Amino acid sequence: METKMCAKCKRELPVESFSNQKLGKNGKRSRCKECIKEESITYRENNTEALKKYHNKYYLENKDSILEYGKQHYAENKATIAIKGKLYREKRKEVISERMKVYHFKNKVHFAKLHHIYKQEHAEECRISCQNREARKRKLSSNLTVEQWVNIKESFNNICAYCGKELILTQEHFIPLSKGGEYSANNIIPSCQSCNSSKNNKDFFTWYPKYKYFSKKRQTKILQFLNYKNEIQQLTLTI
């Protein structure tokens, strides 16, 4: 086996332990890979700020070409990158988890602002996701989508199904969640906050005829929409 002595650590090592270099003796570097790696680590630790400034300057001067190269490299090596990324995360799962906890803690104000903005911009999605999660906890059917909710509101002309007023609409469980009512298009109608609070977990057929905003026409509309006959739902409604 061909060997070579490292000029730094003075160890006799296999030639494979040395990187290639055209002008080096036997086409190899004089120092072994391990020594060069240690030197690189030490250099980076001692010149952190200088290297950061250099890389920032280089990035700004070559931003477009760097981004273009990155996109091209990713497109050509997508599968390989995905496999390497998965292996990296599996091997360093605990380290990454701890690092993310520290990062989130240091930037919790920033993340709180982002979360608030996201909730404002995706209010319906967040509300539906929360309701689906709550229904699943109770082991109830939960499959309402944003598109279905929009269609339900349009079916009632975007007014409260109970009082007929044009107010901010909430998702009213016809059969209350606490009584096994599923969170699906079969059991959700649009209701203003006042009517929703008034009904609470009461039975529709007991509560609505006595409600101050009772309307025979609106009652018929609700029951037809949910496909009820003689107080029994006849089939699953697809929205």
Q: Tens digits of per-residue pLDDT, 151-192?
A: 999 999 999 999 999 999 999 999 998 888 989 999 999 999
How far apart CA 203 and CA 40 sit, in angstroms, is 74
The model's pLDDT over 205-215, given as tens digits with 9 standing for 90+, comes to 999 999 999 99
pTM of the model: 0.52
| Range with the poorest average pLDDT among 14-23, 37-46, 98-107, 132-141 | 132-141
The domain spans of the chain are 38-91, 124-233
Statement: residue 123 has pLDDT above 90: no
Between these two residues, 106 and 130, which has the higher pLDDT value?
A: 106
Q: What is the DSSP letter of 236?
A: P
For residue 89, name the pLDDT band (cuts at 50, 70, 90).
Answer: very high
Q: How many CA atoms lie within 13 A of 52 on its CB side?
A: 5
Question: Among candidates 10, 91, 221, which has minimal Cα distance to 204?
Answer: 221
Statement: residue 239 has pLDDT above 70: no
**Amino acid 237: pLDDT:** 44
Contact assessment for residue 204 and residue 164, using Cβ atoms and an 8 Å cutoff: no
Quickly count: other Cβ atoms within 10 Å of residue 18's Cβ: 25
81-93 mean pLDDT: 93
* 124-233, CATH topology level: DNA Binding (I), subunit A (1.10.30)
Q: How many CA atoms lie within 13 A of 28 on its CB side?
A: 19
